[in-house]
A and B are shown apart, each in its own frame.
Chain A
Amino acid sequence: MALKVGLTSLKFENGVNIKSVSSVAGTKEGEGPLKEYIDILVNDNLYGQKTWEKAETEFVKKAVETAAQKAALSLNNIDYILAGDLQNQSAASCFGVKDFKRPFFGLFGACSTFGEGLSLGAVLIDSGCGKNVMCEASSHFSAAEAQFRFPPELGNQRPQTSTWTVTGAGAAVLSDEGSEPKITGITTGKIVDLGITDANNMGAAMAPAAADVLLNHFKDFSAAPESYDRIFTGDLGSVGSKLLIELLREKGYDIQKQHRDCGMLIYDSDKQDTHAGGSGCACSAITFSMIYKRLLTGEYNKILFMPTGALMNPSSVAQGESILGICHIVMIERQV
């Protein structure tokens, strides 16, 4: 059974097995440094559909199917699907999973959704409420642009602090048995607001939340940066990463050696003109394929996976509200 640790963390004594991980990604991601880790690379971001939104639905379907396949499970063996995305009311996830006819919890944690899913999925499995739980998250560059900013056809320049929404989806099957890498603990983040209102600088809005939850994690588990081979944040990008390191340095922790950011790993920012890096739910969800592979091969033994999210909607930004940050930590170990 899960053990409450400290103030904001849970520890799973037996660990929750990550049975399989899948990823499906679009063209720009396929040209990036992580291409070899991605299961399905799509060479048309419309994915044979008429609209970006419908394309994202296809990404969701494909990621879920692939994860089930890799776990050698039929979808009927999945007890719950936990999924979310960036479209209004998480439409991509809802349409994507509807045909699977499995019990479904729709999640919204902006780009932290995959971390939220893995956290809740682990709790479900650990409490004995399910044998296999599917966690999934997706995003689509053009769908996100049309919803949050301007139509993609508009010829405007993006600021240096802006990030590029990743097109694709990532999924993982959590299970109560198996000998794959295990989720051994989670630290759940609080909403942190340090008054950032610039929607083109999401990294700055999320960095305090990442720093906050990491600080709490270190206290709860009496851990230090050195306790981990790697600490992966979701999509802070180059600006947010700098801020996270600085905020934690002020608190006496130096994570520079362990820290990597999925948003900076998924693209080659110089060659791909993505400015501060990648973002979106799919950013951490797709990069997770690489992290998982390296856990399997033993390159990492113990890591923190901490997707970050910027909570807002176009109205709240237009009305001058600040952009809220959230971040959830998932602790993963190769052997328990």
Chain B
Amino acid sequence: MAKREIVKSDKDYDKLVKEASPNSPIVKNCIKAFIGGGIICCIGQFLMNVLSSYGLVTEERNMAVSVILIGIASLLTGLGWYSKIGRFAGAGSVVPITGFSNSVTAPAIEFKKEGFVMGLGAKIFTVAGPVILYGTLTSIFVGIVYYFVR
């Protein structure tokens, strides 16, 4: 019977799988991420400079930059372009605030077909929800520590 079976421990097979699986072209990916992320940040810098020239102060200005970038990313997601940018840039378009916007807009568009409340409404934060959750929790932690040590 043993002759008829593929007998292999999970560990041995895992080794075999690692050998057979191609690695991600990490250097190439990093270069693309660097370029993609760099460009998005430069657009942010451009917006910052423009808004500064209109006299917006730091806090308001940074908020306005974020809002504009979020809007652009939502639009590109709707047009179906952001996923194409993402395939090229990888983390370069995930890590900037535009990636956050994409992660909110993508499920909103996809799950609209399941209804505005339980589809779009309930699933809009499937990807970004954890970001807000853990971001908020961390901020409370920071706030409490700050309260005692300031």
Contacts and interface: CB of A to CB of B under 8 A. Distances in A.
Nearest to A212: B6
A334 B11 CA distance: 42
B63 interface: no
B49 to A, nearest CB: 26
A153 B102 contact: yes
Given A208-B8, A211-B6, A212-B6, A155 B22 contact: no
B8 A194 contact: yes
Interface stretch (B54-62, B87-95, B132-140): B87-95
Interface in A148-169: 150-161
Contacts of B102: 153-155
A204 B8 CA distance: 13
Interface residues of B, number: 41
Interface in B107-124: 107, 109-111, 113
Contacts of B111: 146, 151
B29 A157 contact: yes
A137 B99 CA distance: 36
A219 interface: yes
Contacts of B80: 153
A160 B109 CA distance: 27
Interface centre among A155, A195, A212, A251 (most CB of B within 10 A): A155
A212 B8 contact: no
Contacts of B10: 194-195
Interface residues on A, range: 35 or more
Interface string B30-65: 000000000000000000000000000000000000
A246 interface: yes
Interface in B72-96: 77, 80, 82-87, 89-91, 93-94
Given A195-B14, A211-B6, A242 B20 contact: yes
B107 A159 contact: no
B4 A155 contact: no
A247 interface: yes
A201 interface: yes
B25 to A, nearest CB: 8
A216 B13 contact: no
Interface centre among B16, B89, B90, B107 (most CB of A within 10 A): B16
A157 B94 CA distance: 9
Contact of A154 (B5, B21, B83, B91): B83
A151 B20 contact: no
Contacts of A246: 16, 20
B106 interface: yes
A312 interface: no
Contact of B21 (A156, A215, A219, A239): A239
A273 interface: yes
Interface in A246-275: 246-247, 251, 273
B150 interface: no
Nearest to B113: A51
Nearest to B88: A157
B17 interface: yes
Given A216-B4, A219-B4, A246-B16, A154 B22 contact: no
B75 to A, nearest CB: 12
Contact of B86 (A7, A157, A216, A239): A157
Nearest to B103: A154
Interface centre among B14, B17, B80, B82 (most CB of A within 10 A): B17
A324 interface: no
A46 to B, nearest CB: 11
Nearest to B25: A160
B17 A196 contact: yes
B110 A204 contact: no
Contacts of B8: 194, 208, 247
Contacts of B113: 50-51
Contacts of A304: none
Given A150-B127, A153-B110, A247-B8, 17 more contacts: A50-B113, A51-B113, A153-B105, A155-B85, A155-B102, A156-B94, A159-B24, A160-B25, A161-B21, A161-B22, A192-B6, A194-B10, A201-B17, A208-B6, A215-B5, A243-B16, A247-B6
5 contacts: A150-B107, A161-B21, A192-B6, A215-B3, A215-B5
The 3 A-B residue pairs with the shortest CB-CB distance in the complex, in nearest-first order: A155-B86, A195-B10, A151-B110
